[in-house]
Chains A and B, each alone.
Chain A
């Protein structure tokens, strides 16, 4: 199972992108006056909140994928993808959609804009501004809430991963996909909280490119799973539900 470590790496590379948007939150969450322990707890809570949103979205996407597949072809239930060499029509359609979505998102990381309405969410700027009101708050519920809501902020990286989660056709795999990705973002984000300042722009740029490459590769593989039946056969040791 090299699949989840791969996603972890994608998350890790992608976290250089996160630093741009969410790193600001992590920095501003800052140290706690009550000592290093409390500071760490704040940041762990914040990141746990974020992770739980990701896991939730992943499980939801996976379950949705499962529902779509089983409703399209009622007979082809859980055992089908694992046993048969090829995927059924519904799964393939979903894989193609997810793959394309991921490729589009990946291209955005290389500066190719297009279809940017998707990520410019409805009223998200209001939410970003208001989230800042949570930063200075004492107690441990606020960082958690901040993390949870932060997880919902529009982010191409997260969208790409949700597409990936949906193409696993399973709630648990979807959840784990997002969990692996989310954990991948932990080191950088926790470090941000500790260091308390942003990384140099050139490094962030490199990180963003790297993240883009990962997503692009994942997208291409997902797409090919949909298009080429043979791929599923060769790679089912790698992919959990395929």
Chain B
């Protein structure tokens, strides 16, 4: 059995990679994928703590998050496709009409 701190450290790395991807990537698809990384980091945490504390809740929440993430990606990709049709581009920093 892998010790908890290692798992947490791994999930923190994963989350940080996701944050970096969200903040730094221009490509919208890459941003969506970075979001997936962050969600999965959370999933890892859920499962780790659930196993540690001998509770089923952690694994259940991880399953829910995976389901919701699938739905989220479905909508997100639909938006990205519409964006591409309108702009011929899926660069996030070019989508800045909603401002002062």
Chains A and B belong together in one complex: no
